[in-house]
Amino acid sequence: MIGLIYRLSDAIRARTLRDDHGRRGEDLAHRYLRRRGCIVVARNYRTAGGSGEIDIVAWQGDTLVFVEVKTRSTVDFGEPDRAVDAQKRERLLRAAREYLRRAEVGWDRARFDIVSIVLSKPVKIDWMRDAFH
- Global pTM? 0.83
CB-CB contact of 70 with 116 (8 Å): yes
Question: How many angstroms separate the most distant Cα atoms in the chain?
Answer: 43
Compute the average pLDDT of residues 79-106: 90
In which element (H, E) is residue 57 found?
strand 53-60
Average pLDDT, the chain: 87
- pLDDT of 79 reads 81
- pLDDT of 114 reads 95
- According to DSSP, residue 46 is labeled E
Compute the average pLDDT of residues 32-55: 92
| CATH top-level class of 21-128 | alpha beta
